[in-house]
Amino acid sequence: MDELLGDFLAETAENLQTVDNEIVLFERDPGNRDVLNNIFRLVHTIKGTCGFLNLPRLERLAHAAETVLGKVRDGQAQVTPAVVSETLSAIDGIKVILAALEASGKEPAGDDEDQIARLNAAIAAPEVPKVEIVPETVNAVEAGAGRGIQSIRVSVALLEQLMTTVSELVLTRNELLQHLRTLKDDRLAVPLQRLSAQVGELQESVMRTRMQPISNAWSALPRLVRSLSVELDKPIELEMQGGETELDRQLLELIKDPLAHMVRNAADHGIEAAEERKAAGKAARGRIVLKAVQEGGHIVITLADDGRGIDVARLKAKAVALRLVNEADAVHLSALQAQRLVFHPGLSTAEQVTSVSGRGVGMDVVRANIEKIGGAIDIESTPGKGTEFTIRIPLTLAILPALIVASGGQRFAMPQMTVVELLRVGANNEHVVEYVNNAAVMRLRGRLLPLIHLSTLLGIGNGRSGGDYVLIARAGNISFGLIVDNIFDTEEVVVKPVAPILKTLNVYSGNAILGDGAVIMILDANGIAESLGIAGESDAADTLEVPVREATQETDAMLLFRAGSAHPKAVPLSLVARLEEFEAAAVEWSEGRPVVQYRDALVPLLAVDDPLTPRVGARQPALIFDDRGAIVALMVDEVLDIVDAHIDICMTSDLPSRIGTAVIAGRATEILDVAHYLSQAGSAAAPADDEGARRVLIVDDSAFFRNMLKPLLASAGYRAMTAASADEALALRESGEYFDLILSDIEMPGLSGVDFARAVRGDERWRETPLVALSSLAGDEHVRQGEAAGFDQYVAKFDRSRLLDAVARQLKGEAA
pLDDT of residue 135: 36
Q: Is the pLDDT reported for residue 127 higher than 50?
A: no
pLDDT of residue 50: 79
H helix and E strand count, the chain = 24, 36
Range 3-10, long-range pairs (CB < 8 A, 24+ positions): 4/53, 5/53, 5/101, 5/105, 7/153, 8/49, 8/53, 9/98, 9/101, 9/102, 10/153
pLDDT of residue 148: 46
Q: With H, G, I as helix, E, B as strand and everything else as coil, classify residue 648.
A: coil
Angstrom CA distances, 614 to 250, 438, 563, 605, 636, stand at 66, 29, 11, 8, 11
User: 644 or 43, which is more confident?
Assistant: 43
Strand partners, 449: 442
Residue 614 near residue 605 (C-beta atoms within 8 A)? yes
Q: At what angle do helices 81-104 and 3-28 cross, to 10 degrees?
A: 170
pLDDT of residue 389: 92
**CA angle at residue 633 from 667 to 423, to 5 degrees?**
100
> Please, which pLDDT band fits residue 734 given cuts at 50, 70 and 90?
confident
* Cα–Cα distance for residue pair 266/253, rounded to 1 Å: 21
* Cα–Cα distance for residue pair 468/466, rounded to 1 Å: 6
CATH architecture of residue range(s) 399-549: Roll (2.30)
Work out the percent of the chain whose per-residue pLDDT is above 70. Answer: 79
pLDDT tens across 675-730, in order?
778 777 654 433 444 556 889 999 987 766 776 777 778 767 888 888 888 888 99
Residue 56 near residue 110 (C-beta atoms within 8 A)? no
* Cα–Cα distance for residue pair 622/632, rounded to 1 Å: 9
pLDDT of residue 474: 80
Indicate the CATH number for domain 3-128.
Answer: 1.20.120.160
pLDDT of residue 388: 92
The domain locations on the chain are 3-128, 156-210, 214-394, 399-549, 552-680, 687-811
pLDDT of residue 542: 32
Residue 308 near residue 382 (C-beta atoms within 8 A)? no
Region 616-631: mean pLDDT is 74
pLDDT tens across 199-231, in order?
878 877 877 777 888 888 887 888 888 888 888
> Please, which pLDDT band fits residue 137 given cuts at 50, 70 and 90?
very low
What's the topology of domain 687-811?
A: Rossmann fold (3.40.50)
Q: Is the pLDDT reported for residue 662 higher than 70?
A: yes
Residue 611 near residue 680 (C-beta atoms within 8 A)? yes
Looking at 3.30.1150.10, 2.40.40.20, 3.30.565.10, 3.40.367.20, the CATH number of the domain 214-394 comes to 3.30.565.10
pLDDT of residue 171: 76
Residue 293 near residue 414 (C-beta atoms within 8 A)? no
* Cα–Cα distance for residue pair 710/743, rounded to 1 Å: 11
pLDDT of residue 682: 53
Region 288-298: mean pLDDT is 80
Looking at 2.40.50.180, 3.40.190.170, 1.20.210.10, 2.60.90.10, the CATH number of the domain 552-680 comes to 2.40.50.180
